[in-house]
């Protein structure tokens, strides 16, 4: 059934990704599947945000797939009712999972919908590449990533993520809240538009080159493969080590 925030509760769902187990393999295809499912999660979060509820702990383990393959956000156990009038938040208490924390969660800033947008950007990077944006799951690594802007830099330096997706990711992962997508809905719309664009480009490339690599090297082949999967033209095989790290 569906609750007031548009979060669908399902029986025995599959995780979008569970860090305590194998991860995303076997549950969700990266690439096109990742864009579609993160957009679906963004839609659910937007409905919560409209009710002034901020999740604060968005991560793969809290996003599930229904039997129809739809991604839904669950576990609002650390959510916050956002006081739009005062901007009140807890000071001196870090709530959430270090790998997915937004800068304002670590720096005692006021959390809002864009805090969850940041976490969705981290989730998307993980689903696209099969690697964590922050290599270690601790607060020290999270602080270092923020002070050095390592999250955005790592996205920009990744060789196999299409440039169009890098633009979406770097916007979602901006250090300043005002520089991010203004809402989860805006992020979802950007992902849907990007998938359509990548689909068009991939189809054109396939028609021109006949599906051949044309003698490109392994790095080019990997980039092309991720572009095709991002466009939804190719689905990865579970457990196949879908994409290379940066």
Q: Looking at the annotation, which residues are catalytic?
A: 57
Q: What are phi and psi of 147, to 5 degrees?
A: -70, -25
Contacts (Cβ under 8 Å, ≥6 apart) of 237: none
Supply angle C-alpha 236, 26, 12, rounded to 5: 140
How far is the first Cα of the chain from the last one, in angstroms, to the nearest whole number? 40
Q: What are phi and psi of 206, to 5 degrees?
A: -65, -40
Please report the DSSP string for 89-147 in residue order.
--SS---S-GGG--HHHHTTPPP-HHHHHHHHHHHHHHHHHSS-SSSS-SHHHHHHHHH
CA distance 118 to 101: 8
CA nearest 164: which of 130, 129, 139, 199? 199
């Amino acid at each position: 059934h569906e609750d007031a925030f548009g979060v669908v509760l399902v029986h025995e769902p599959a995780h979008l990704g569970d860090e305590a187990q194998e991860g995303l393999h076997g549950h969700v295809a990266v690439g096109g599947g990742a864009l579609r499912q993160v957009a679906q999660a963004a839609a659910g979060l937007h409905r919560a945000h409209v009710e002034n509820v901020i999740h604060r702990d968005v991560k793969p383990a809290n996003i599930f797939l229904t039997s129809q393959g739809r991604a839904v956000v669950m576990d609002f156990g650390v959510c916050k009712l956002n006081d739009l009038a005062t901007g009140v938040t807890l000071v001196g208490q870090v709530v959430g999972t270090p790998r997915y924390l937004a800068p304002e969660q670590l720096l005692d800033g006021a959390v809002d919908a864009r805090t969850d947008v940041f976490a969705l950007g981290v989730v998307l990077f993980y689903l696209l590449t099969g690697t964590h944006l922050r290599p270690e799951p601790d607060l020290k690594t999270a602080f270092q990533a923020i002070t050095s802007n390592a999250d955005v830099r790592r996205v920009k330096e990744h060789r196999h993520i299409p440039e169009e997706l890098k633009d979406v990711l770097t916007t979602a992962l901006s250090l300043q809240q005002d520089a991010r997508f203004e809402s989860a809905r805006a992020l979802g719309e950007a992902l849907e538009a990007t998938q359509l664009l990548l689909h068009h480009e991939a189809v054109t490339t396939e028609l021109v080159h006949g599906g051949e690599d044309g003698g490109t090297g392994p790095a080019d082949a990997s980039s092309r493969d991720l572009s095709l999967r991002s466009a939804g033209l190719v689905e990865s095989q579970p457990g196949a080590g879908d994409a290379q790290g940066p």
